[in-house]
Amino acid sequence: MSERLVVISPNWLGDAVMALPAIADLRRHYQSAHLTIAARPSVAPMFAMVEGIDQVMTLPGGGGLRAITGWRHDVRVLKEGSFDTAVLLPNSFATAFVASKAGIPERWGYAADSRAGMLTRAIPRPHAELHQCAYYQTLTMALGIEAGPPHAKVSPDAGKARELLREIGLDIDEPLVVFAPGAAYGRAKQWLPERFAELAHAIINDRGWSVLMVGANVDRPTCDDITRRLPKTGTRINRLIDFCGKSDIPTLAGILSQARAVVSNDSGAMHLAGAVGAKVIAIFGPTNEHRTSPLSAGPTAPSPVVITHEVFCRPCMLRECPIDHRCMRRITAAEVLKAI
């Protein structure tokens, strides 16, 4: 039995959220173990809001090409944990290399990226197309751990979220729709700014609700584009509020938890919204909703609504559309409004 167990997290926020059911399975199976999550700075704060995790450890080395020079930093951090077992959720060679160099006796993960020789339990990767949540749970099931329900729950500080909304002029008792119009993978994943603007106009003028946009700094041009397309009209509760680039993960989670609904592209914010219990309207174009659709926070939480428009070329998984972006262009604001 493992006394000190570390789970090395995926590097992307959405993948980290989809790994939560497998992490919950590990927690139930190893009830007396000290469970640590080791994660990159970009996702580590999310795990601090997850029940059952004893410690969150930040890995400073970096993923991808940065692992070539930063791996020693990760080794040093993992050595300090004196772990008995590491469960490696990323498929990378670098993750197994770092866990091995850190001297962790048991190293479990998928036999991927030519790393099987560095694992003490190398599990063959599944051949079937699986949702990313099921992909992680297939690994833990192969390790002899029973799978629980595919729910991902994140519990932000709701009090701080309500205080923040008051500070920006919102009444917490009045309906709020959150837009997450960005997407890290590429522009092809983004619903058109003019559609977001049309939807915001309908929410504000027809329903009398407010709309708040969130996103990272790289999403600033998209949010500015949406704002420019919306007439500068409205009352105190009847407006579009641009909060792009102003929230870290705990703040974002809190805001999403207070929303009547969250309209999002396939993104980390979409997955986080589902995990905090918000009603998610997820717009999918070039990516595959059967693999990365959002999870709900539990059996009583709202089920996500996935909206697609079927065309011959989707899912293409391309970052930029080489033709006319028809998979996104043909999704109307009226269709999304109906789902809210």
pLDDT at residue 68 in the model: 64
| Domain match, 136 and 283 both | no
Strand partners, 106: 85
pTM: 0.95
| Residue 270 lies inside a defined structural domain of this protein | yes
| Domain match, 174 and 275 both | yes
Q: For residue 18, how far is the Cα from the chain centroid?
A: 7
Distances (CA, A) of 6 to 17, 39, 248: 17, 10, 25
Neighbour count for residue 141 (Cβ, 10 Å): 15
Mean of the pLDDT values across residues 154-175?
88
pLDDT at residue 168 in the model: 85
| Domain match, 196 and 332 both | yes
The answer on pLDDT for 96 being more than 90 is yes
| Residue 163 lies inside a defined structural domain of this protein | yes
Number of H helices, E strands in the chain: 14, 12
The answer on pLDDT for 91 being more than 90 is yes
| Domain match, 137 and 162 both | no
pLDDT at residue 232 in the model: 65
Mean of the pLDDT values across residues 134-139?
98
Percent of the chain with pLDDT over 90: 84
27-50 pLDDT tens trace: 999 999 999 999 999 999 999 999
Mean of the pLDDT values across residues 75-89?
96
Mean of the pLDDT values across residues 210-215?
95
pLDDT bin (cut points 50, 70, 90) of residue 71 is confident
| Domain match, 302 and 216 both | yes
Q: Please give the residue range of the domain that contains residue 197.
A: 158-339
CATH at residue 325:
3.40.50.2000
Number of domains within the chain: 2
d(CA 76, CA 70): 10
* Cα–Cα–Cα angle for 182, 40, 104, rounded to 5 degrees: 150
| Domain match, 315 and 215 both | yes
| Domain match, 295 and 260 both | yes
| Residue 93 lies inside a defined structural domain of this protein | yes
| Residue 147 lies inside a defined structural domain of this protein | no
